[in-house]
């Protein structure tokens, strides 16, 4: 008989234990610090805990106040923090003419909107809208090339190791060079106009998109590729049903990064060498020491990028991942991330696609 067998025999876990003896044993359990430091019985500790919770949960007169509830809610706290920041900023701005203020910034934006661009004023023909349109047009043109180049190259790099070997160093250099170097080069070569910002967007944003797409190709499940190969699925159907959905996460992340980088490049080129656009306007007011003007156009830059991200890219992100919502959400903890080994079927989700 082994030692383990003997130990099991001696401590047969199946013997019943008298509950009275157990309680007595717990009560007689001695603590190192003696009875003075011995904690109370479990019932005593539970009662103390419940009393403490009751004290914290006791309703006060303030809890019934809707204004107080609004202020202390999550949304209320966020709005309150923004209000406080704006108030502090306004007060700080009074200290110096060189410091922009929120009210001054908004006032300047209104003036830009009221100033005609070329010819008579209209809702579209004013400094604010026309300069935004110029910048957006440049960004859109550049990003179109970024996507047309970045997605196929990234995919090809993931698909064939020779292509990856060919492009790796170029992508690394593209990532390493700061955007302002490309901006300076572009202005020297192309001068004012559309070409310089488009070129800068393409060379600055494409490497990042390529890296994301390349990572996305690694995310295509090998077993699904094998299944596709066995059944002889045509290439187009494979791209639509396997490649793009597998890469969707990395693709959206790459496009998001490209949009952020691209917009920044456009503004940068316009700052240094352009005759129109958001960046040009910001530089113009900076040179005239009008800091409310500078802040106003900086605010325009922020609002546009937030709008594009929240309204366009996030919606695309939700759409390409809508199947996850139908099966219980994102992440490894969701039902979509779990394997099942038998048992009853899970009831259909009401948000089925």
Partner 1 sequence: MAVLKASHVVKEFPPPTKNQPTVRALDGLDFEMSGQTFVSMVGPSGCGKSTFLNIVSGVETPTSGSVTVTNDAGKPARLGYVFQDARLLPWRTVLANILYVQNDRSEETMARVRKYLDIVGLTGFEDMYPAHLSGGMQQRVGIARALSVEPDLLLMDEPFSHLDAITARTLREELQDVWERTKKTILYVTHDVMEAVQLSGRIIIVAYGGKNFADYENTLPYPRLQHDPAVAAMQAQILAVFEDMEARRRELDPRIAEEAEAVSKRRSRV
Length in residues, the chain? 353
Near partner 1 by CB under 8 A: residue from 57, 230, 287, 311: 230
Size of the site for partner 1 (CB under 8 A): 34
Here's the x/- map for partner 1, 200-229, by CB under 8 A: it reads as -----------------------xx-xx-x
Query: Can you read off the two tokens belonging to residue 191?
Result: 């001068």
Query: Can you read off the two tokens belonging to residue 324?
Result: 């996850």
Here's the x/- map for partner 1, 236-265, by CB under 8 A: it reads as -x---xx--x--------------------
When the beta carbons of 96 and 339 are compared against partner 1, the nearer one is: 339
When the beta carbons of 62 and 240 are compared against partner 1, the nearer one is: 240
Applying CB under 8 A, does 21 fall inside the site for partner 1? no
Query: Can you read off the two tokens belonging to residue 288?
Result: 């005239």
Applying CB under 8 A, does 235 fall inside the site for partner 1? no
Q: Least CB distance from residue 339 to partner 1, whole Å?
A: 7
Q: Least CB distance from residue 295 to partner 1, whole Å?
A: 45
When the beta carbons of 98 and 222 are compared against partner 1, the nearer one is: 222
Q: Least CB distance from residue 258 to partner 1, whole Å?
A: 24
Applying CB under 8 A, does 336 fall inside the site for partner 1? yes
When the beta carbons of 200 and 243 are compared against partner 1, the nearer one is: 243
Judge whether 228 and 238 are in contact, CB under 8 Å.
yes
Enumerate binding residues for partner 1 (CB under 8 A). Answer: 2, 5, 223-224, 226-227, 229-231, 233, 237, 241-242, 245, 323, 326-328, 335-336, 338-349, 352-353
């Amino acid at each position: 008989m082994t030692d383990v067998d003997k130990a099991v025999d001696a401590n047969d876990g199946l013997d019943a234990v008298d509950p009275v003896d157990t309680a007595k044993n717990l009560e007689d359990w001695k603590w190192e610090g003696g009875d003075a430091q011995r904690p109370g019985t479990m019932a005593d500790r539970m009662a103390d805990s419940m009393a403490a919770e009751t004290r914290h949960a006791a309703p006060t007169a303030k809890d019934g106040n809707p204004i107080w509830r609004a202020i202390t809610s999550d949304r209320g706290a966020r709005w309150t923090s923004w209000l406080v920041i704006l108030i502090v900023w306004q007060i700080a701005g009074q200290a110096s003419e060189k410091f922009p203020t929120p009210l001054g910034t908004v006032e300047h934006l209104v003036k830009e909107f009221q100033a005609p661009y070329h010819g008579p004023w209209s809702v579209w023909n004013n400094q604010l809208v026309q300069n935004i349109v110029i910048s957006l047009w440049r960004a859109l043109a550049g990003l179109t090339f970024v996507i047309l180049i970045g997605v196929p190259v990234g995919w090809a790099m993931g698909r064939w190791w020779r292509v990856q070997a060919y492009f790796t160093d170029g992508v690394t250099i593209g990532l390493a060079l700061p955007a302002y170097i490309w901006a300076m080069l572009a202005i020297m070569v192309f001068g004012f106009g559309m070409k310089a910002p488009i070129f800068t967007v393409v060379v600055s944003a494409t490497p990042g998109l390529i890296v994301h797409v390349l990572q996305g190709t690694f995310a295509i499940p090998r077993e699904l590729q094998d299944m596709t190969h066995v059944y002889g699925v045509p290439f187009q159907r494979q791209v639509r049903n396997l490649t793009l959905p597998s890469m969707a996460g990395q693709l959206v992340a790459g496009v998001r990064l490209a949009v952020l980088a691209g917009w920044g490049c456009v503004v940068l080129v316009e700052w240094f060498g352009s005759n129109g656009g958001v960046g040009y306007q910001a530089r113009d007011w900076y040179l005239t020491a009008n800091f409310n003007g500078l802040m106003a156009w900086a605010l325009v830059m922020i609002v546009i990028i937030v709008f594009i991200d929240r309204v366009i890219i996030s919606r695309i992100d939700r759409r390409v991942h809508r199947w996850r919502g139908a099966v219980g959400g994102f992440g490894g903890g969701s039902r979509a991330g779990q394997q099942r080994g038998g048992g009853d079927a899970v009831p259909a989700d009401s948000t089925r696609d």
